Amino acid sequence: MGKTRITAPEGLPFVDIEREFDAPADLVFKAYLEPELVKQWLGPRQYEVILERWDARDGGSYRYVHTDGTNSYGFRGVFHSMARDSMIQTFEFDGAPGHVSLDTQVIEDLPGGRSRVKSHSIFMSVADRDAMVEAGMGDGVEDGFNRLDELLPSLQPVGAAG
């Protein structure tokens, strides 16, 4: 499994995230688009993902809830661009309404059938960014990407490299 690199420069309202996967970029992109796949990897594994809406297209929107049966955490946003080289969306946590980030993901091909996801999230303020980091964003991202790592081999055609 890869290791997620998360950078949150002091005094700046953004977070950068990078992770390499042992799968082609097209398969990683598919896992971002298809609701049945998203439910299998998005977020920490101790939570079930309930997709209330996942319209992954330019102008589409999403809303999902992470729940452990007792606690629930909702998230929502709008997809502005869903090209593999420029997925742009807003992100808002129900627990902090009005504090919206703008997230850009790029999925790059790497040699040997591998790929890299690069994310850049811009927050409305450094305080908003810090609150998200302190709430455990890094742990959720890392666990979700670990789950994606586990899912990707099942999406590859039999006999494919990876």
Q: Considering the domain 5-150, what is its CATH architecture? A: 2-Layer Sandwich (3.30)
Q: Does residue 159 carry a pLDDT above 60?
A: no
2: confidence class by pLDDT, cuts 50, 70, 90 = low
The ranges assigned to domains in the chain are 5-150
* Chain centroid, CA 43 distance in Å: 8
Mean pLDDT of 8-19: 97
Q: Does residue 129 carry a pLDDT above 80?
A: yes
Average pLDDT over the chain reads: 93
1: confidence class by pLDDT, cuts 50, 70, 90 = very low
**Encoded tokens for 136:** 């455990």
Q: Does residue 30 carry a pLDDT above 50?
A: yes
What is the per-residue pLDDT across 72-103, written as a single tens digit (0 to 9) for each?
A: 999 999 999 999 899 999 999 999 999 999 99
- Which residues, listed in sequence order, are joined to residue 65 by a DSSP beta bridge? 50, 74
Percent of the chain with pLDDT over 90: 90
Task: List all residues 6 or more positions away from 124 whose beta carbon is below 8 Å from its beta carbon.
Answer: 13, 99, 100, 101
Q: Does residue 158 carry a pLDDT above 60?
A: no
